[in-house]
């Protein structure tokens, strides 16, 4: 599963990043935020500072302002002029066989996180892609809200290296997305017995792919889907 498209080969969360990743996989992880004019945009950070030539909080900028920024130059000259896509644009321009893991951020006030979910769920329904996505978050409360609003949407619980099961099982997720360093064969076996799919993040080294494959994971999130595919084909 390509992380932010393929952030090892192209500027993360841009349309070209997903298009390049699609040469190697139809499975993608992405991040989304609400911009100041109310649209969902594909970006990881709360500000545009790190990945564009602009500055400011995503929530304070309109879609037009955000898409006027250069989101490719920070990566290399080859990608100068790439822009931040809206979530709608990304879904409409990618092939219909693509599957998306949409990470909903756990930062910010609770009401803002709920507002993001309330914008996302109708968009998925409008574009008729509810069966090609799952919603992931570190925030169990938010995943519970997603379930309330659309029980048919698959939900993935993101886990860092330390957690308590009672803290995340309340959201009744369908998938578990742990930090790859925390994965053991025994734990994966137990999660499978409990009915969970397990897709760790973000593993970029062959030694980790070997370990995860031997542990029995159901997928791997990586910055380099090209290299992971080559390993799996060996």
Asked about 180 being catalytic, the answer comes back as no
Tell me how far apart the terminal alpha carbons of the chain are, to the nearest angstrom: 18
Catalytic residue among 19, 26, 36, 44: 44
Residue with tokens 């066989």: 97
- Cα dihedral 214, 98, 29, 228, rounded to 10, equals 40
Catalytic residue among 2, 3, 87, 145: 3
Pair 15, 59: CB distance under 8 Å: no
Residues 6+ apart with CB under 8 A from 122: none
Asked about 192 being catalytic, the answer comes back as no
Mapping DSSP onto H, E and C, the string for 16-61 reads HHHHHHCCCCCEEEEEEEECCCCCEEECCCCECCCCCCCCCEHHHC
Segment holding 110, helix H or strand E? helix 110-126
Catalytic residues: 3, 44
């Amino acid at each position: 599963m390509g992380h932010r498209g393929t952030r090892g080969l192209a500027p993360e969360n841009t349309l070209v990043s997903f298009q390049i990743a699609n040469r190697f996989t139809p499975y993608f992880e992405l991040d989304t935020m609400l911009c100041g004019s109310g649209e969902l945009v594909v970006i990881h950070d709360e500000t545009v500072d790190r990945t564009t030539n602009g500055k400011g909080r995503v929530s304070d900028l309109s879609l037009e302002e955000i898409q006027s920024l250069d989101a490719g130059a920070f990566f290399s000259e080859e990608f100068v002029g790439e822009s931040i896509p809206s979530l709608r644009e990304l879904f409409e321009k990618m092939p219909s066989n693509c599957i998306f893991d949409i990470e909903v951020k756990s930062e910010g006030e609770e009401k803002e996180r709920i507002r993001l979910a309330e914008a996302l769920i109708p968009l998925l329904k409008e574009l008729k892609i509810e069966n090609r996505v799952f919603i992931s978050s570190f925030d169990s409360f938010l995943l519970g809200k997603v379930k309330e609003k659309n029980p048919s949407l698959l939900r993935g619980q993101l886990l860092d290296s330390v957690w308590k099961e009672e803290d995340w099982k309340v959201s009744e997720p369908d998938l578990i997305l742990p930090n790859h360093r925390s994965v053991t064969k025994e734990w994966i076996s137990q999660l499978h017995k409990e009915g969970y799919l397990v897709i760790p993040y973000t593993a970029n080294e062959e030694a980790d792919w070997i370990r995860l494959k031997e542990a029995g994971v159901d997928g791997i999130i990586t910055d380099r889907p090209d290299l992971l595919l080559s390993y799996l084909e060996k």
